Amino acid sequence: MTAVTDPLTLPCGVTVKNRLLKGAMSEALGTRDHAPRPELPALYARWARGGTGILLTGNVMVDARALGEPGNVVLEDERHLADFHRWAVQGSRDGAALWMQLNHPGKQAPRGLNAGGTVAPSALPFRADWPAPLPRRAS
Ligand X SMILES: Cc1cc2nc3c(=O)[nH]c(=O)nc-3n(C[C@H](O)[C@H](O)[C@H](O)COP(=O)(O)O)c2cc1C
* Angle between helical axes of 39-49 and 81-91 (0-180°, round to 10): 20
- Mention every residue, 6+ apart, whose C-beta is less than 8 A from residue 6: 18, 19
Region of 20-28, 80-88, 91-99, 105-113 interacting with ligand X (CB under 6 A): 20-28
Footprint (CB under 6 A) of ligand X, residues 53-92: 58-59
**Smallest gap, in angstroms, from Cβ of residue 43 to ligand X?**
13
User: Could you tell me how many residues of this chain bind ligand X (CB under 6 A)?
Assistant: 7
Element containing residue 48 per DSSP (H, E): helix 39-49
Binding of ligand X at residue 108 (CB under 6 A)? no
How far is 81 from 11, CA to CA, in rounded Å? 29
Residue pair 33/67 in contact (Cβ under 8 Å)? The answer is no
Stretch that binds ligand X, among 18-26, 38-46, 82-90, 130-138 (CB under 6 A): 18-26
CB of 13 or CB of 70, closer to ligand X: 70
Indicate the pairing of strand 97-103 with strand 136-137. unpaired
Q: Determine which residue in the list 8, 20, 21, 24 makes contact with ligand X, applying CB under 6 A.
A: 24
Cβ 139 to ligand X, closest distance in Å?
27
